[in-house]
Amino acid sequence: MIPKYRKSHVFVDSILDAARAIAMGQEGPMTTTRIAEVAGCSVAGLYRYFCDVHDIRCALVAQDWSLYEQAVEAYRKDHVICAPADVLSMHFHIRESTLREGSGPIPAVQRYQVADRPTESDRIARLHLQLVQPSQPAINEPSLHRHLELVVRLADALIRRAFTISPDGDPAMLRESKLILDRYVTSYLSFTAQPAGAWGCIDVAEIDGHRER
């Protein structure tokens, strides 16, 4: 016999899985009635655990974020993260693994974002910033955050396209995507006299100012 608490977790997971499928455009508009129908439960049963659709959206965002954080910690056990190029490689690895294992879609491109919460790309960029900032004290933090978020958005869009072309991720598309973003970083750095990769010596605010002039 399955313990009662385990049954509750299974029930909640079935609701979240149904809501995620609906949010990704596979099962029509997201309403509590539709979610319950797809999950195979009653609306009354759904309301035992969630107040409304907004509550379910918040749970989806929290679940995806927890999975991403766990993936980051697992990756850091075998890799040193101290530069933007490192977090870019990590992000590609996590996204590709997630999609290949079928453990979920890409959070940053999902359509259940909660209006009063930070976007997924913003949260990921802030996490990446925390990993990079200690070894890059000379970098202007707000500006670096903006560029990290842009890289996350670009990476997710390109990875999503690669897995649209092929269920396993089109190798050529993924290879070119990494190359494009690597060149973006190189181009970004080229606005200074520092060689590519010397992030610790660059004032990113100065680069932004140069671009605006």
Residue 127 lies in a domain: yes
CATH number at residue 1: 1.10.10
In angstroms, the CA 92 to CA 140 distance is 25
pLDDT digits over 142-165, tens only? 878 888 888 999 998 899 889 889
Residue 119 lies in a domain: yes
Write out the residue range of the structural domain in which residue 34 sits: 1-50
Tell the burial category of 125 from Cβ atoms under 10 Å away from its Cβ (0-12, 13-18, 19+): buried
Residue 75 and residue 163 in one domain: yes
Predicted confidence (pLDDT) at residue 198 exceeds the cutoff of 80: no
Residue 9 and residue 75 in one domain: no
Residue 67 lies in a domain: yes
pLDDT digits over 113-149, tens only? 666 667 788 889 999 989 888 876 766 788 788 888 8
Helix (H) or strand (E) holding 164: helix 141-165
In the 8-state DSSP scheme, what is residue 197? T
Q: Measured over all CA atoms, what is the biggest interatomic distance in the chain, rounded to whole angstroms?
A: 69
Residue 86 and residue 163 in one domain: yes
Structure tokens at 115: 């209006």
Please name the amino acid found at residue 45. Answer: G
